[in-house]
Each structure stands twice: as C-alpha cells, then as structure tokens.
Structure 1
C-alpha cells in the first residue's frame, strides 16, 4: 500500500512537471512565483497579461502613464438578481444550477490568479460592476500601480479626500467604493484613475450634467493613444466636438507612442519557440530595473 501511494505521488509530480514544461515560459521570475497555480490558471494569468500588454494596460504594467488600467476581459455570469427579486432577498445565486456553480468556480480561479499576480508594485483586482442586466453580473479586471495611485490620491486630495482616501488607501477599497458611487462622481474618479487629463475629465462630467438637465446628448470627438492592437478605441478620451488638441494632449500621445515602440522593440527578445511571448519575464525584467 505504501509503495502504491509513493508511486502515485511520483506520478503526479512527473505529470505536473511535464505539464509545466509544456507551457514554455518561466513561472518563477524576479516578480512572480506562480507555483501555487494550476497549469490552467498559469495559462489564464499568461493570457491576461498578454492581452494587457497589447492594449492600454501596457501603460500601467510597464510604465507610469496610467495609475490603473482595465485588462479588457469581459466577464459576465448569471449570478445577479433576476427581475422579480427584491432588495434584501436572501437567496439570489441558485447553487443548484450548473451555470451558477461553474461561474463561481471560474471566478474563484480568477481571484486566485489575481492574488498570485499582485506584488509590491502592482495589484490586480476583480471588481463587479454596479449595474446588472437580466440576471447577469459583469465584472472587470483592473491592474493598479501602487506608486502612481498613491501620487494621484495626493495630487487630487480635494476630490478623493471626500471618501477618506489617502496615499496609503487599499486599491480594492478605492475601486469598489467608487464603482458603487453616484454617476458623475464615478465618472470624474475613473477619469483621473485611468490617466485622462483634467480638461477631458471636466468635459465628460459637464457633458453628463448637461444631458441630465436638457435631455440632449452632447456631441463629442475622441482623442486616441496608440496601442499594439490598434490606433483607436483603447486608450481614448472624449473631447468637445471640433476641439483642437493642445500641448497637453500631444505630450500624452508622444509619451504613449514612445512607450509602445519600446515595448514592441523589446517583445521580440522574449519570443518563445511556439511564437508566444514570455510576458512573465518581460514584465518582471521591467520592474527589476526600476
């Protein structure tokens, strides 16, 4: 019996090592040791970071342009209240439903992944959206850069101080509280957090207030920063219709363009034999040099 147990343990170790080696990339870096994750969860983390680098999260993961970024994964699960359910009801998520059980299991894996990815410099969070839709709850994955978030709490203390937020506030507290705040405070908060300039934040909030008062949509243009996935629609903010970009906008654009080109130049040095990028080592090397 003891021999059989020992054999089974050895077999599990061999299978585990074999699976890990097939992933191709390093899971033990200066920044991370993902040994607590299953191979499937390591792949989830890898794909999440890879998506982030190809989109606007690059400017949080490998630079200081954006205090926070969305990692773009649209997570939606049938776990919210249906139309007939009331405020204060006890039983909402139907645990007898296969879809609900699978949703909660997947969310548990995501929370485990984000916990393991979080470091002294970066926090990864899964934040539920306030609004639900036909019994579905949407959630967003956010990465926060601690130093830039702390500086923002100091720089905009006259705004963020109303919630008691300070440079040492927990990012999860900040993001969760703001998502469930009133609309226009939420708009202003997210504008600052996502790295938009003051004039763009003011315009968006004022346009919302104007629409509330008049019922008329305020027309707008958009100012786009490039990302690897495309030149428009990612790191983007609204501006007045016919607005001529200023030095402030140009400075943000040029910095984003420089960061993107630097990333694209470095990326080829981290390409694996199967064509994938070892994003763990790429990001880790950036933070190692800081």
Structure 2
C-alpha cells in the first residue's frame, strides 16, 4: 500500500517579513505551500491591492500556492458588533479569491476576564453569521483553539462546531494551544474533534509552563495524534507554526534557523510513521 501523503505548508511570516525569504526557506524544507498571515511586516487583512498583486506574482513565479488565509478574524473583543467581523470576513474572502484557497483561519473572541459560559450565546451569534457568509461564498472557516478565546478547550470547540452545524465551519488542530489550557490534546480531544478536523497546525508545548517547543518535544501528544490521523486516512495540509523564538497576541516568530529545526522535528516523526510530506 502506498504511503499516505500530506501537504506541507508553513507560516511564512514566522521565518522573515520578506516573502522572498519566506518562500526560499519553505522551498528548502520541501514545502510548496505558504500559510499566509503576513508579508513585508503587514498583516494579511491589511495587504493593499499592490501588495496582493506583487505577492501573487511572486508565488506564481516560485511555483507556490497558499494553503490558507491565516486571518486574525475573531481575535477581537466580544464588545464589537456582530457586523464588525462579518465585514472583515469579506476582506478575507477577497484574499482567498486572490490566492486561490478556500480555507480561512479564524478564532472565537477574547474572553477578557468573562465567564466563558456567559459568552456562549454572543459568540454563537457571530459565528453563525460568519458561517452563513462562508456558505454563500463557498469558503471554509477553520477555527483555531487559541488560549484565552472562547473556544480554547476541547469542550467549547466541540460545542461551537456542533452548535453552528455548518460544513463551512471546521477545525484547525493546534496541539500546543490545547496544552496551554491544561488539556491533553489526543487523550481529551481527538476522538471528539476528528469528525470536524480539516487542517493541522504543528507546534508543541510543555504542560509545566506552557513553553512552546518543536513537535514531539512537549506534551502535545503529537506522535499519537499523527499516528491516528495516518490510520484513519487523513488527507490535507500540515502547517508549521513553530513559535520557537517569540509568541504574542497576533502570532509568533521563529526565524529561519529555528523554523528549520521545527521542520526537521516534524519530518522525523512523519518519516517514522511512513507519511510523506509534499
């Protein structure tokens, strides 16, 4: 039986602000896809028409494609009106068209000291509005389980995707983020979230202090998760988001050397599992 093949991608702005450097490093690591969060020091939703055109031209020249628009949608206060993120989603959809992808990463609103149970209804109102637009425009929202947003625990992620009930709201799996909220990713979440899991973002973390480490070096049960995905026929993207040098509210940074170390750690695991990365 042929070895399964997953599509390797990565957050280019974790490598360098210059997309030329981003693509050079990703290519050296065997990737032909970019997860687009920013270029030239500009966040993806703020890229102007000239920047979009220049970046698309560069991608085409280098033979790269975009795996997902790594937007910050939903990484805002719940105090903003429903229309605010729906409007920004419109911008993300424009970018998805420009860069020929259906995937748009998003989040489920900062807790800001609130009791998550008291946020639920307002979060669902917003996510349902966003999912409705995604359905009309035929794009797929990928909810990432980031620390300190509503959907940061396995229970709340399951609740969100099942309550919205749309094939256009799916799950981007991030093991490190689950570790940072006290969850055991594979043990506590895999079986429940696998039916909705359409995208992998790879970083790991230590349960003791939340520090982010390369895949397989922490408590994120990365090997167990990737083994199960191999065995149940996962096909799709596996995107490096190492956060090995810095992490902050809008993202993280690794630099070329640390990003390369993260990529080699991942390949060490997938090679042992008999999974090809292309």
TM range (shorter): under 0.3
Q: Compute the TM-score of the two structures, normalised by the length of structure 2.
A: 0.26
Higher helix share: 1
Higher strand share: 2
Work out which of the two has the higher radius of gyration on C-alpha atoms and give 1 or 2. 1
